């Protein structure tokens, strides 16, 4: 049974999709005004892992993640750089796609852009006004928070405590400082669209409400994003959807914790950030992905070189184990199978791995728990591999490991699991044949010490040499 922590109830709840086997999921995507930092990348990797686990569990997932391609940050940056907002968006959407590829994010079912949904936004704002939950002033439209008793339910923020200048914009046109903009009349140098109230542009919160509803219908199952989005962004999404459509838009709200530097939230505005680009340029891509999901998604994750070095070592340990298994498979393919106690033990370890991994991930996507299960298995695999007598169980080990690593977004090799590696097995066979030839040469030269040493050392690594009347042959122990 899968349990997920719902920010709305502040509890872990049993996960049950609203509609049979289908999970509808919306994750707030990047505002494409600059290079994403590694903190943004954490949010992307976390929700990709959650999606992958849901799919592994057997759900069909419709995964929507947007590009915020018009808002205050976009306009400020475009004006500063002297470029059109649309060109700025195109540049950083391309950059995001490159990063997404390197982090092995599964392509979303759809990546809508806010500017493609202006008509839908105008329609929603119209409904809010019609339902008496908003007001228009000089071409701007605001949401009237005082009309909504449940405002604050998601964030736990008491609306009475919100004062102007605290965490809400000050704007003398607002009836109440807590009210927020649904539509903003055009200012010089800003992109704008026609609407019944003014030529203007949507407020940021309106964009996500509308795109979620458009692609998923409401209510839908999961809405994700970083913890910084709980208030005001997601609180306001709930307010808008309930005011316009009379429904809570989302069943489960999931929020990732911050990636921090020296315990402070990584953020562009504070200047304490590393871009995803520079981190991916400096470290193995799989190690970066591993690092991003190595902590529990709701906990903070600190960014430092040490953490990335450790992630690199962890990925290396997995690769080494996989390589040894492949080597052993090719030896067994040449030499034939035999009965061995280790096979049974490995079979049990494989079952334990699957069971343990799924148990951990079913507890609110506990990736550190799942990863601990993987490494417990790797330790056993390293011990058992040289003792295993049949290739089948080793192939099963690789297949199981491959499937579970894929949930974490890790792919250990381009080779298909269990394919075997004919070139390395040829090299291995050739090397043993060569050693036996050298042993024969040593014997002919009466250098029996060297001949015996070769035989003994081969025995130590599991190769049994037998001298027959037709010359020496070898097989695996």
Q: Which two tokens stand for residue 432?
A: 């043993």
Q: Does residue 99 touch ligand AMP according to CB under 6 A? A: no
134 binds, among ligand AMP, Zn ion, none (CB under 5 to 8 A by kind): none
Choose the binding region for Zn ion from 104-112, 191-199, 201-209, 376-384 (rule: CB under 5 A): 201-209
Q: What is the nearest approach in angstroms of ligand AMP to the Cβ of residue 141?
A: 23
Q: How far is the CB of 371 from ligand AMP (least distance, A)?
A: 19
Q: How many residues does the chain have?
A: 477
Chain position carrying tokens 């109230």: 197
Phi and psi angles of residue 45, each rounded to the nearest 5 degrees, phi first: -70, -40
- Choose one: 13-21, 243-251, 254-262, 461-469; the region binding ligand AMP (CB under 6 A): 254-262
Cβ within 8 Å of residue 6, ≥6 positions away: 12, 13, 251, 252, 253, 254
232: DSSP letter: I
Q: Choosing among ligand AMP, Zn ion, none, which partner's interface includes residue 208 (Cβ < 5 to 8 Å by kind)? A: Zn ion
Pull the structure tokens for residue 79. Answer: 């004006």
Do residues 28 and 225 lie in contact, with contact meaning Cβ atoms separated by under 8 Å?
yes
Contact flag: residue 242 with ligand AMP (CB under 6 A): no
Task: Measure the CA–CA gap between 161 and 156, rounded to whole angstroms.
Answer: 11
Query: Does the protein bind ligand AMP through residue 421 (CB under 6 A)?
Result: no
CB of 156 to ligand AMP, least distance (A): 17
Q: Which of 126, 226, 232, 409 is close enough to bind ligand AMP by CB under 6 A?
A: 226
Q: Which is nearer to ligand AMP, 86 or 450 (CB)?
A: 86
Q: Does 112 bind ligand AMP (CB under 6 A)?
A: no
Quick one: what does residue 370 bind among ligand AMP, Zn ion, none, with the CB cut-off 5 to 8 Å set by partner type?
Answer: none
Dist. CA 357–CA 64, nearest whole Å: 26
The Cα–Cα gap between 314 and 440 comes to: 43
| Residue 92 in the binding site for ligand AMP (CB under 6 A) | no
Say what the alpha-carbon torsion angle 208, 213, 218, 223 is, to the nearest 10 degrees.
Answer: -30
Is 172 in contact with 159 (CB distance < 8 Å)?
Answer: no
Out of ligand AMP, Zn ion, none, what residue 40 binds, judged by CB under 5 to 8 A for its kind, is ligand AMP
Residue 228, contacted partner among ligand AMP, Zn ion, none, CB below 5-8 A by kind: ligand AMP
Closer residue to Zn ion (CB): 28 or 398: 28
For the bound state, the minimum distance from the C-beta of residue 193 to ligand AMP, rounded and expressed in Å, comes to 21
Does the protein bind ligand AMP through residue 39 (CB under 6 A)?
yes
Residue 256 binds what, of Zn ion, ligand AMP, none (CB under 5 to 8 Å, by partner type)? Answer: ligand AMP
Whose Cβ is closer to ligand AMP: residue 31's or residue 362's? 31
Contact with ligand AMP (CB under 6 A) among 152, 200, 219, 225? 225
Binding ligand AMP (rule: CB under 6 A), the pick from 23, 105, 129, 266 is 266
Residues 9-28 binding ligand AMP (CB under 6 A) are: 28
- What is the C-alpha end-to-end distance of the chain, expressed in Å? 44
Residue 427 phi/psi, 5-degree rounding, is -60, -40
- Closer to ligand AMP at the Cβ: 126 or 225? 225
Buried b (16+ CB within 10 A) or exposed e, 225-258: bbbebbbbbbbbbbbbbbbbbeeebbbbbbbbbb
Neighbours of 310 (CB within 10 A): 15
Among 23, 99, 141, 208, binds Zn ion (CB under 5 A): 208
The rounded distance, in Å, linking the Cα atoms of 247 and 375 is 45
C-beta closer to ligand AMP: residue 250 or 388: 250
One residue of 43, 104, 195, 241 binding ligand AMP per CB under 6 A: 43
Using the contact rule CB under 6 A, the part of the chain among 78-86, 157-165, 226-234, 413-421 near ligand AMP is 226-234
Buried (b) or exposed (e) across 140-158, using 16+ Cβ within 10 A? Answer: bbbbbbebbeebbbbbebe
Burial 405-438 (b: 16+ CB within 10 A, else e): bbbbbbebeeeebbeebeeebeebeeebeebbee
Exactly one of 5, 24, 42, 174 binds ligand AMP (CB under 6 A); which one? Answer: 42
Q: Applying CB under 6 A, which residues contact ligand AMP?
A: 28, 30-31, 39-40, 42-43, 225-226, 228-229, 256, 258-259, 265-267
């Amino acid at each position: 049974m899968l349990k997920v922590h719902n920010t709305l109830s502040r509890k872990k709840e049993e996960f049950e999709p609203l509609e049979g086997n289908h999970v509808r999921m919306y994750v707030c995507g990047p505002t494409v005004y600059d290079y994403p930092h590694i903190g943004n990348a954490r949010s992307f990797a976390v929700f990709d892992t959650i999606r992958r686990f849901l799919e592994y569990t057997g759900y069909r997932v419709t995964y929507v993640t947007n590009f915020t391609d018009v808002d205050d940050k976009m306009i400020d940056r475009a004006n500063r750089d002297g470029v059109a907002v649309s060109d700025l968006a195109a540049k950083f959407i391309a950059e995001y796609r490159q990063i997404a590829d390197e982090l092995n994010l599964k392509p979303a079912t759809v990546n809508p852009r806010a500017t493609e949904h202006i008509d839908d936004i105008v329609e929603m704002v119209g409904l809010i006004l019609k339902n008496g939950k908003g007001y228009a002033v000089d071409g701007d439209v605001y949401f009237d928070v005082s009309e909504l008793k449940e405002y604050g339910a998601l964030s736990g923020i008491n609306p009475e405590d919100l004062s102007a200048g605290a965490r809400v914009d000050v704007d003398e046109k607002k009836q109440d400082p807590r009210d927020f903009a649904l539509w903003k009349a055009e200012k010089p140098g800003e992109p704008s669209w026609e609407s019944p109230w003014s030529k203007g542009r949507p407020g940021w919160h309106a964009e996500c409400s509308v795109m979620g509803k458009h692609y998923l219908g409401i209510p839908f199952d999961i809405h994700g994003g970083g913890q910084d989005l709980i208030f005001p962004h997601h609180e306001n999404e709930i307010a808008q959807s309930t005011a316009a459509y009379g429904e809570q838009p989302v069943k489960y709200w999931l929020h990732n914790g911050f990636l921090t530097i020296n315990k402070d939230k990584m953020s562009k505005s504070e200047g304490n950030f590393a871009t995803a680009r520079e981190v991916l340029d400096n470290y193995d891509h799989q190690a970066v992905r591993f690092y991003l999901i190595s902590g529990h998604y709701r906990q903070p994750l600190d960014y430092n070189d040490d953490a990335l070095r450790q992630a690199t070592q962890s990925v290396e340990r997995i690769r080494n184990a996989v390589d040894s298994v492949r080597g052993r498979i090719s030896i067994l393919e040449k030499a034939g199978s035999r009965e061995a106690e280790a096979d049974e033990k490995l079979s049990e370890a494989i079952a334990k791995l699957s069971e343990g991994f799924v148990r951990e991930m079913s507890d609110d996507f506990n990736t550190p728990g799942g990863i601990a299960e993987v490494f417990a298995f790797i330790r056993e695999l390293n011990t058992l591999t040289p003792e295993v007598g049949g290739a089948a169980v080793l192939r099963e080990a690789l297949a199981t490991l491959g499937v579970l690593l894929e949930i974490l977004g890790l792919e250990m090799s381009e080779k298909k699991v269990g394919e075997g590696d004919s070139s390395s097995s040829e090299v291995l066979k050739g090397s043993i044949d060569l050693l036996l030839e050298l042993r024969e040469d040593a014997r002919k030269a009466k250098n029996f010490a060297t001949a015996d040493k070769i035989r003994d050392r081969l025995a130590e690594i599991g190769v049994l040499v037998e001298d027959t009347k037709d010359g020496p042959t070898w097989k695996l122990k």
